[in-house]
Amino acid sequence: MQLALPIEWLPASGAAEQLILLLHGDASNGAAMAPLAQALRAEFPQAALLAPDAPLVAPGAPGLHEWFVEHDLCDGNRAERVGTALPPLLDWVRHTQRRLAVGPAATAIAGFSQGAILALETALADDGLAGRVLSFSGRFVRLPTQAPRHTTVHLFHGGADLNIAAAHSRSALQQLATLQGDATLDIAEGVGHVMHPALVQRALFRLRNHIPARTWAAALGALPGLPITPEKH
Protein backbone atom coordinates (compact mmCIF):
# COMPACT_ATOMS: atom_id res chain seq x y z
CA MET A 1 0.00 0.00 0.00
CA GLN A 2 1.30 3.41 -0.98
CA LEU A 3 0.14 6.33 1.12
CA ALA A 4 0.47 10.05 0.55
CA LEU A 5 2.77 11.60 3.15
CA PRO A 6 1.85 15.17 4.12
CA ILE A 7 4.48 14.83 6.85
CA GLU A 8 7.78 13.04 6.33
CA TRP A 9 10.34 14.73 8.55
CA LEU A 10 13.77 13.13 8.61
CA PRO A 11 16.76 14.03 10.80
CA ALA A 12 18.69 17.10 9.66
CA SER A 13 21.81 14.94 9.41
CA GLY A 14 22.69 11.32 9.93
CA ALA A 15 20.54 8.23 9.88
CA ALA A 16 17.22 7.96 11.67
CA GLU A 17 17.57 6.40 15.10
CA GLN A 18 13.84 6.07 15.72
CA LEU A 19 10.78 5.81 13.51
CA ILE A 20 7.53 7.40 14.71
CA LEU A 21 4.41 6.85 12.63
CA LEU A 22 1.38 9.08 13.26
CA LEU A 23 -2.11 7.91 12.25
CA HIS A 24 -4.82 10.58 12.07
CA GLY A 25 -8.46 10.30 13.06
CA ASP A 26 -11.52 9.93 10.85
CA ALA A 27 -12.47 12.73 8.44
CA SER A 28 -8.99 14.17 8.77
CA ASN A 29 -5.55 13.87 7.18
CA GLY A 30 -1.90 13.43 8.02
CA ALA A 31 -1.29 17.17 8.21
CA ALA A 32 -3.59 17.31 11.24
CA MET A 33 -0.93 15.42 13.20
CA ALA A 34 1.53 18.32 12.85
CA PRO A 35 1.27 19.54 16.48
CA LEU A 36 2.18 16.09 17.81
CA ALA A 37 4.88 15.71 15.16
CA GLN A 38 6.41 19.06 16.11
CA ALA A 39 6.49 18.14 19.80
CA LEU A 40 8.11 14.80 19.01
CA ARG A 41 10.61 16.36 16.63
CA ALA A 42 11.78 18.80 19.30
CA GLU A 43 12.20 15.96 21.78
CA PHE A 44 13.69 13.36 19.41
CA PRO A 45 15.61 15.19 16.65
CA GLN A 46 17.09 11.96 15.27
CA ALA A 47 13.69 10.39 14.74
CA ALA A 48 12.00 10.00 11.38
CA LEU A 49 8.42 11.27 11.70
CA LEU A 50 5.80 10.22 9.15
CA ALA A 51 2.10 11.06 9.09
CA PRO A 52 0.30 9.53 6.09
CA ASP A 53 -3.15 10.18 4.71
CA ALA A 54 -5.44 7.22 5.23
CA PRO A 55 -6.33 5.42 1.96
CA LEU A 56 -10.10 6.03 1.98
CA VAL A 57 -11.67 9.33 1.01
CA ALA A 58 -14.01 10.53 3.75
CA PRO A 59 -17.30 12.25 2.95
CA GLY A 60 -17.36 15.99 3.45
CA ALA A 61 -14.80 18.58 2.52
CA PRO A 62 -12.06 17.71 0.00
CA GLY A 63 -8.82 16.35 1.38
CA LEU A 64 -10.36 14.36 4.22
CA HIS A 65 -9.54 10.69 4.71
CA GLU A 66 -10.42 7.72 6.91
CA TRP A 67 -8.84 4.36 7.67
CA PHE A 68 -12.14 2.52 7.65
CA VAL A 69 -15.70 3.58 6.89
CA GLU A 70 -17.11 5.53 9.81
CA HIS A 71 -20.68 5.78 8.48
CA ASP A 72 -23.04 3.53 10.45
CA LEU A 73 -20.14 2.13 12.45
CA CYS A 74 -21.33 -0.06 15.33
CA ASP A 75 -20.21 -2.97 17.49
CA GLY A 76 -21.64 -5.34 14.90
CA ASN A 77 -19.41 -4.20 12.03
CA ARG A 78 -16.40 -2.58 13.74
CA ALA A 79 -14.27 -5.74 13.81
CA GLU A 80 -14.83 -6.44 10.11
CA ARG A 81 -14.04 -2.87 9.03
CA VAL A 82 -10.91 -2.60 11.16
CA GLY A 83 -9.86 -6.09 10.09
CA THR A 84 -10.01 -5.02 6.44
CA ALA A 85 -7.92 -1.90 7.09
CA LEU A 86 -5.26 -3.60 9.18
CA PRO A 87 -3.26 -5.86 6.78
CA PRO A 88 -2.32 -3.11 4.29
CA LEU A 89 -1.33 -0.84 7.18
CA LEU A 90 0.93 -3.55 8.61
CA ASP A 91 2.55 -3.97 5.20
CA TRP A 92 3.11 -0.21 4.96
CA VAL A 93 4.75 -0.13 8.40
CA ARG A 94 7.12 -2.96 7.47
CA HIS A 95 7.95 -1.32 4.14
CA THR A 96 8.68 2.00 5.89
CA GLN A 97 10.93 0.28 8.40
CA ARG A 98 12.93 -1.30 5.59
CA ARG A 99 13.06 1.92 3.58
CA LEU A 100 14.39 3.98 6.48
CA ALA A 101 16.46 1.15 8.00
CA VAL A 102 14.84 1.39 11.44
CA GLY A 103 13.97 -1.81 13.27
CA PRO A 104 10.77 -2.68 15.13
CA ALA A 105 12.17 -2.04 18.62
CA ALA A 106 12.94 1.58 17.64
CA THR A 107 9.54 2.10 16.00
CA ALA A 108 6.56 3.80 17.67
CA ILE A 109 3.06 3.93 16.21
CA ALA A 110 0.86 6.72 17.55
CA GLY A 111 -2.72 7.40 16.57
CA PHE A 112 -5.71 9.56 17.38
CA SER A 113 -9.30 8.24 17.38
CA GLN A 114 -9.60 5.97 14.30
CA GLY A 115 -5.82 6.05 14.00
CA ALA A 116 -5.51 5.02 17.64
CA ILE A 117 -7.79 2.04 17.05
CA LEU A 118 -5.56 0.93 14.19
CA ALA A 119 -2.41 1.54 16.25
CA LEU A 120 -3.71 -0.61 19.11
CA GLU A 121 -4.74 -3.38 16.75
CA THR A 122 -1.25 -3.51 15.20
CA ALA A 123 0.07 -4.52 18.63
CA LEU A 124 -2.31 -7.48 18.71
CA ALA A 125 -1.92 -8.48 15.07
CA ASP A 126 1.90 -8.36 15.02
CA ASP A 127 3.39 -8.25 18.50
CA GLY A 128 6.72 -6.45 18.32
CA LEU A 129 6.11 -4.75 14.97
CA ALA A 130 6.62 -1.59 17.03
CA GLY A 131 8.28 -1.23 20.39
CA ARG A 132 5.63 1.25 21.47
CA VAL A 133 2.04 2.06 20.60
CA LEU A 134 0.50 5.36 21.70
CA SER A 135 -3.28 5.58 21.66
CA PHE A 136 -4.93 9.01 21.96
CA SER A 137 -8.71 8.75 22.43
CA GLY A 138 -8.79 5.22 21.05
CA ARG A 139 -9.97 1.75 21.97
CA PHE A 140 -9.41 -1.90 21.19
CA VAL A 141 -12.01 -3.39 18.88
CA ARG A 142 -12.33 -6.14 21.48
CA LEU A 143 -10.41 -6.37 24.72
CA PRO A 144 -7.35 -8.56 24.13
CA THR A 145 -7.22 -12.14 25.34
CA GLN A 146 -3.42 -12.13 25.16
CA ALA A 147 -1.18 -9.18 25.93
CA PRO A 148 1.62 -8.11 23.61
CA ARG A 149 4.99 -9.20 24.97
CA HIS A 150 7.20 -7.04 22.75
CA THR A 151 5.11 -3.88 22.48
CA THR A 152 4.44 -1.37 25.24
CA VAL A 153 0.99 0.25 25.08
CA HIS A 154 0.57 3.86 26.22
CA LEU A 155 -3.05 5.01 26.58
CA PHE A 156 -4.04 8.70 26.64
CA HIS A 157 -7.64 9.85 26.99
CA GLY A 158 -9.80 12.83 27.81
CA GLY A 159 -12.00 12.12 30.78
CA ALA A 160 -14.93 13.94 29.14
CA ASP A 161 -14.58 12.25 25.73
CA LEU A 162 -18.09 11.74 24.31
CA ASN A 163 -16.96 10.06 21.07
CA ILE A 164 -14.90 7.22 22.50
CA ALA A 165 -15.39 7.10 26.25
CA ALA A 166 -12.37 7.03 28.54
CA ALA A 167 -13.90 3.88 30.04
CA HIS A 168 -12.49 2.01 27.03
CA SER A 169 -8.94 2.96 27.99
CA ARG A 170 -9.56 2.14 31.64
CA SER A 171 -10.91 -1.28 30.66
CA ALA A 172 -7.96 -1.84 28.35
CA LEU A 173 -5.49 -1.06 31.12
CA GLN A 174 -7.29 -3.39 33.53
CA GLN A 175 -7.35 -6.19 30.97
CA LEU A 176 -3.68 -5.76 30.08
CA ALA A 177 -2.87 -5.81 33.79
CA THR A 178 -4.73 -9.08 34.17
CA LEU A 179 -2.78 -10.49 31.23
CA GLN A 180 0.51 -9.13 32.64
CA GLY A 181 1.04 -6.78 29.71
CA ASP A 182 3.18 -3.64 29.70
CA ALA A 183 0.92 -0.58 29.60
CA THR A 184 0.36 2.89 31.02
CA LEU A 185 -2.69 5.15 31.22
CA ASP A 186 -2.97 8.94 31.44
CA ILE A 187 -6.37 10.61 31.69
CA ALA A 188 -6.90 14.37 31.41
CA GLU A 189 -10.05 15.14 33.37
CA GLY A 190 -12.47 17.58 31.74
CA VAL A 191 -10.92 17.05 28.28
CA GLY A 192 -13.01 15.82 25.37
CA HIS A 193 -12.21 14.04 22.10
CA VAL A 194 -9.09 16.02 21.25
CA MET A 195 -5.35 15.50 21.32
CA HIS A 196 -4.92 17.90 24.21
CA PRO A 197 -1.47 19.48 24.81
CA ALA A 198 -1.46 18.03 28.33
CA LEU A 199 -1.74 14.53 26.89
CA VAL A 200 0.95 15.27 24.32
CA GLN A 201 3.25 16.26 27.18
CA ARG A 202 2.42 13.01 28.97
CA ALA A 203 3.27 11.11 25.79
CA LEU A 204 6.69 12.77 25.68
CA PHE A 205 7.18 11.88 29.34
CA ARG A 206 6.25 8.25 28.72
CA LEU A 207 8.58 7.96 25.75
CA ARG A 208 11.45 9.52 27.69
CA ASN A 209 11.00 7.80 31.02
CA HIS A 210 9.08 4.53 30.78
CA ILE A 211 11.49 1.60 30.65
CA PRO A 212 9.68 -1.32 29.01
CA ALA A 213 9.20 -4.26 31.32
CA ARG A 214 10.78 -6.57 28.76
CA THR A 215 13.99 -4.56 29.13
CA TRP A 216 13.97 -5.10 32.88
CA ALA A 217 13.20 -8.78 32.37
CA ALA A 218 16.12 -9.20 29.98
CA ALA A 219 18.46 -7.40 32.37
CA LEU A 220 17.35 -9.60 35.26
CA GLY A 221 17.39 -12.77 33.19
CA ALA A 222 13.84 -13.53 34.22
CA LEU A 223 10.26 -13.16 33.02
CA PRO A 224 8.40 -11.45 35.86
CA GLY A 225 4.91 -10.09 35.71
CA LEU A 226 5.02 -6.84 33.78
CA PRO A 227 4.22 -3.58 35.60
CA ILE A 228 1.14 -1.53 34.91
CA THR A 229 1.18 2.15 35.82
CA PRO A 230 -2.18 3.92 35.87
CA GLU A 231 -2.01 7.69 36.33
CA LYS A 232 -4.44 10.60 35.99
CA HIS A 233 -3.48 14.15 35.09
pLDDT tens for 165-182 read: 999 999 999 999 999 999
Active site residue 113: yes
Query: 7-232: which CATH architecture?
Result: 3-Layer(aba) Sandwich (3.40)
Rounded CA separation 129/139 (Å) = 19
User: Catalytic one among 161, 169, 186, 196?
Assistant: 161
Tens digits of residue pLDDT in 20-65: 999 999 999 999 999 999 999 999 999 999 999 999 999 887 899 9
User: Catalytic one among 28, 113, 135, 169?
Assistant: 113
Tens digits of residue pLDDT in 131-166: 999 999 999 999 999 999 999 999 999 999 999 999
pTM (2 d.p.): 0.92
Residue pair 95/130 in contact (Cβ under 8 Å)? The answer is no
Active site residue 161: yes
Active site residue 75: no
